[in-house]
A and B are shown apart, each in its own frame.
Chain A
Amino acid sequence: MTTEAIHDSHEHDDHHDHKMTGIKRWLYTTNHKDIGTLYLWFAFIMLLVGGALAMGIRAELFQPGLQFMEPDFFNQLTTVHGLIMVFGAIMPAFTGFANWMIPMMIGAPDMALPRMNNWSFWILPFAFSILLASFFMESGAPNFGWTFYAPLSTTYSNGSTAFFVFAVHIMGISSIMGAINVIVTIMNMRAPGMTYMKMPLFVWTFFITAYLLIAVMPVLAGVVTMLLTDTYFGTSFFDAAGGGDPVMFQHIFWFFGHPEVYIMILPAFGIVSTIIPAFARKRLFGYSSMVYATASIAFLSFIVWAHHMFTTGMPLFGELFFMYCTMLIAVPTGVKVFNWVATMWRGSMTFEIPMLFSIAFVILFTIGGFSGLMLALTPVDFQYHDTYFVVAHFHYVLVTGSLFSIYAGAYYWLPKWTGHMYHDGLSKAHFWCSLISVNILFFPMHFLGLAGMPRRIPDYALQFADFNKWVSIGGFAFGLSQLIFLVVVIKCIKGGKKAEAKPWDGAEGLEWTVASPAPYHTFETPPNAEDIKGQ
């Protein structure tokens, strides 16, 4: 390890591309670590922005009746909250991890297409500026839900459709470029001896995610383009008066939308599969079954889209087909959950923060998975459809699933990124406050949904008042808890206990063979991956 580190710092000295200073360093950078950092900061800022919108939603729902806002503004909040969290927080955060870690995990000096990498990040702030700017326009922000169903977003649009469409186009281009970059890097730049089946699981899951991205983001671009021409140029893709069909919008949208939800969870599986073995001090149970399970989930994600549309009046055969296919996804997902549990079984476990977040992930993601299975059942879905039960379900998989895995990964690699250990007490506070408040926030939503409270409505019947109060209190607490993370990260960048090259004794992988903080350039000469322990 020490030889590696010395070797790397030596390389650094005679490297031609000089680090620029100030803002130019970040604007012109083609370094995967810089771009990864940019992605991660951007995602965190977006998390706070989207979170602020959610605070508005929960403030309005604290009591029955209309307190703070018009229903139309409430709809704008829910819509932009969803769009920002999906496209601005979760996806860029994972891309940030991919940029930082994939080259270091496979022993490559950088991403394959560094200039494109710079571009794919720097167009993102423009996309979200366009989206957020619409709040300050006469029309207001998009108010048709993040799923932008036609004709809400065409015939009944408040005039924000064009801004929305161009913002989504830019986000899509960014994701596609990022995905191409990852695939080219993984296929061509692995260190000698790093065969596909020796790749760390995070690399595998992001590899598969990247394929999902290039398969479905163009479909999203297509469907928003149709929306644009329907709204402004007189086409009738979704307009029944001109021979179109609004239900077709839902088919095309969810053909993108369902793989999209796996785009947001597969990298999470990869991060958790990296962390649990490190702190259980055991090799990951069933490495190859993890790879195949990920691939099966990705494949199945393409043939289940209509389970979002059971109430549109599908024929019985369609309902049964999509119900069974959806339930089938529980099999590979179950394989993963059991593998994580089996990895922990009789391991010498310690409970550092990354491990705490990972264990919370396994339990709470499974709860979200189970409510997903309930929603997959066609007959009961007619009751659950568009209620808070759905809201509870996807927040369990996206917040306690994806977001918790992002936190787990951030704590796990922070020492490598900053060269310092994070503050122990504050990070514990962050974990426990988040864990408790997130359950106060989302668990009662199940009951609200089963009792019939519809989603996306600014007011509700009196019998839902108590639960909503709890949910709002949980929401405010969860929102504030995330500020602790901001403090932890800033403290960790500024100082703290010096981190060793490998601060976790059970950790494995090439990223721990370089110094902490990771030198600006790593693996300019490929390491020999032959002697990494086979998985």
Chain B
Amino acid sequence: MSTEQNQEMSQSKKKTKTVKKLVLVVFAMFGFGFALVPLYDVFCDITGLNGKTATTAANVNEDGIDESRIITVQFISRTAKGIPWQFEPMINEIKVHPGEMKLVKFYAKNESVNDIIGQAVPSVSPGKAAIYFQKIECFCFNSQPLKAQEDIEMALQFYVDAELPEEVSTITLSYTLYDITGSVES
């Protein structure tokens, strides 16, 4: 084999090596795109950036009540496209001291002729208050089936953590109600 052929061989080997590395990068970045999904969730869990509250029940407050502060908690509800339910808070606004436990109720009525399973998804604004909003009991922890024309009063028991940043004086809790009948049945 001449030296020229040798050189050609080693050059094509070098090319193959570079190609392999680059293809690896491509697959890694494709995976990274999907890895962003759990990363985003973890990041938001820690920081509460997206206003999502915990999806499981919190423990009862044992740190006492901070009576020097009053926090306004507002309740908003909306129904997503395509769910024929009436869904609203029974009280629009409540004033609480941090640490103080409160029970509020939401009213829901299935106004259609079909049985429907609903799921309420909470969101807190400002987002940074989300991790301080502690729910001991919430209808949003489970899905809510309602028969045609059936109605229900649903309970939410919560307290606001005393660690809530100073600058937050109003918390808005918004529930969106989705029809999940299809995905539960399948």
CA distance A318 to B48 in the complex (A): 13
CA distance A220 to B29 in the complex (A): 10
In the assembled complex, the CB of A196 is this many whole angstroms from the nearest CB of chain B, namely: 15
Q: Report 26 cross-chain contacts, Cβ distance below 8 Å, ordered by A residue.
A: A179-B22, A180-B19, A180-B23, A183-B18, A214-B25, A214-B29, A216-B29, A217-B29, A218-B26, A218-B27, A219-B30, A219-B33, A221-B33, A223-B33, A234-B183, A241-B121, A241-B179, A241-B180, A245-B44, A245-B52, A248-B37, A248-B50, A251-B36, A252-B36, A313-B51, A313-B125
In the assembled complex, the CB of A526 is this many whole angstroms from the nearest CB of chain B, namely: 11
Which B residues lie at the A interface, using CB under 8 A? 11, 14-15, 18-19, 22-23, 25-27, 29-30, 32-34, 36-37, 40, 44, 47, 49-52, 55, 80-81, 119, 121, 123, 125-128, 176, 178-180, 183, 186
CA distance A243 to B126 in the complex (A): 19
Contact yes or no, B40 A241, CB < 8 A? no
In the assembled complex, the CB of B7 is this many whole angstroms from the nearest CB of chain A, namely: 11
Using Cβ atoms and an 8 Å threshold, which residues of chain A touch B55?
243
In the assembled complex, the CB of A201 is this many whole angstroms from the nearest CB of chain B, namely: 22
Which of B33, B119, B127 is in CB contact (< 8 Å) with A252?
B33
Using Cβ atoms and an 8 Å threshold, which residues of chain A touch B119?
241
State whether the Cβ of A406 lies closer than 8 Å to any Cβ in chain B.
no
Name the residue on B nearest A181 (C-beta): B19
Known: A176-B26, A313-B127. 16 other contacts (CB 8 A): A112-B15, A155-B81, A179-B22, A189-B11, A215-B25, A223-B33, A226-B34, A240-B121, A240-B123, A240-B176, A240-B178, A242-B180, A243-B121, A251-B40, A252-B37, A313-B126
Contact yes or no, B19 A113, CB < 8 A? yes
Contact yes or no, A188 B11, CB < 8 A? yes
In the assembled complex, the CB of B170 is this many whole angstroms from the nearest CB of chain A, namely: 15
CA distance A219 to B26 in the complex (A): 9
State whether the Cβ of A534 lies closer than 8 Å to any Cβ in chain B.
no
Contact with B along A49-71 (1 / 0, CB 8 A): 00000000000000000000000
* The 5 A-B residue pairs with the shortest CB-CB distance in the complex, in nearest-first order: A222-B33, A241-B178, A218-B30, A218-B29, A219-B33
Using Cβ atoms and an 8 Å threshold, which residues of chain B touch A241?
80, 119, 121, 176, 178-180
Contact yes or no, A222 B34, CB < 8 A? yes
CA distance A220 to B30 in the complex (A): 8
Contact yes or no, A215 B183, CB < 8 A? no
Q: A184-B22, A214-B22 are in contact. Are A219 and B40 (CB under 8 A)?
A: no
Using Cβ atoms and an 8 Å threshold, which residues of chain B touch A179?
22
Name the residue on A nearest B51 (C-beta): A313
CA distance A173 to B34 in the complex (A): 18
**Interface of chain A, main secondary structure:** helix
Contact yes or no, A245 B40, CB < 8 A? yes
State whether the Cβ of A356 lies closer than 8 Å to any Cβ in chain B.
no
**Interface of chain B, main secondary structure:** helix
CA distance A152 to B40 in the complex (A): 21
Name the residue on A nearest B81 (C-beta): A155
State whether the Cβ of A411 lies closer than 8 Å to any Cβ in chain B.
no
Using Cβ atoms and an 8 Å threshold, which residues of chain B touch A504?
none
CA distance A245 to B37 in the complex (A): 9
State whether the Cβ of A137 lies closer than 8 Å to any Cβ in chain B.
no
Using Cβ atoms and an 8 Å threshold, which residues of chain B touch A130?
none
Contact yes or no, A237 B49, CB < 8 A? no
Contact yes or no, B40 A318, CB < 8 A? no
Using Cβ atoms and an 8 Å threshold, which residues of chain A touch B37?
226, 237, 248, 252
Using Cβ atoms and an 8 Å threshold, which residues of chain B touch A240?
121, 123, 176, 178
Contact with B along A301-336 (1 / 0, CB 8 A): 000000000000111001000000000000000000
CA distance A335 to B21 in the complex (A): 32
In the assembled complex, the CB of B81 is this many whole angstroms from the nearest CB of chain A, namely: 7
Greatest chain B CB density within 10 A among A188, A241, A252 is at A241
Contact yes or no, B23 A318, CB < 8 A? no
Name the residue on A nearest B118 (C-beta): A241
Using Cβ atoms and an 8 Å threshold, which residues of chain A touch B186?
234
CA distance A523 to B34 in the complex (A): 44
State whether the Cβ of A187 lies closer than 8 Å to any Cβ in chain B.
yes
Contact yes or no, A222 B30, CB < 8 A? yes
Using Cβ atoms and an 8 Å threshold, which residues of chain A touch B121?
240-241, 243
Contact yes or no, B50 A188, CB < 8 A? no
Using Cβ atoms and an 8 Å threshold, which residues of chain B touch A251?
36, 40
CA distance A222 to B33 in the complex (A): 6
Using Cβ atoms and an 8 Å threshold, which residues of chain B touch A313?
51, 125-127
Using Cβ atoms and an 8 Å threshold, which residues of chain A touch B44?
245
CA distance A417 to B126 in the complex (A): 60
Name the residue on A nearest B182 (C-beta): A234
Using Cβ atoms and an 8 Å threshold, which residues of chain B touch A188?
11, 14-15, 18
Name the residue on A nearest B178 (C-beta): A241
Q: A188-B11, A234-B183 are in contact. Are A215 and B29 (CB under 8 A)?
A: yes
Using Cβ atoms and an 8 Å threshold, which residues of chain A touch B34?
222, 226
Using Cβ atoms and an 8 Å threshold, which residues of chain A touch B80?
241
